[in-house]
Amino acid sequence: MATTSRGRTQDRARVAAGQDHELKYEAKKEGVSKEAVKGAVKKAGNSRKKVEAELGRK
């Protein structure tokens, strides 16, 4: 697992809805808005696979 500049490990299997850059990345990757990604995280949880599945249903 990669580490951040603060020495913390990154979890690439999760989407941090509070981080604008993560929302932008996922929105661009899926071709949807940041708000859609945020809604999917709220509905499906922060698992990247579940968020992508939720966005794929729309």
Residue where the block lists tokens 């661009």: 28
Q: Render pLDDT for 10-50 as a digit per residue (tens, 0 to 9).
A: 788 999 999 999 999 999 999 999 999 999 999 999 999 99
Q: Structure tokens of 52? A: 């992508």
pLDDT level of residue 1 (50, 70, 90 thresholds)? low
pLDDT of residue 11: 83
pLDDT level of residue 5 (50, 70, 90 thresholds)? confident
| Mean pLDDT along residues 7-11 | 79
CA angle 16, 45, 37 (to 5 degrees): 60
pLDDT of residue 58: 60
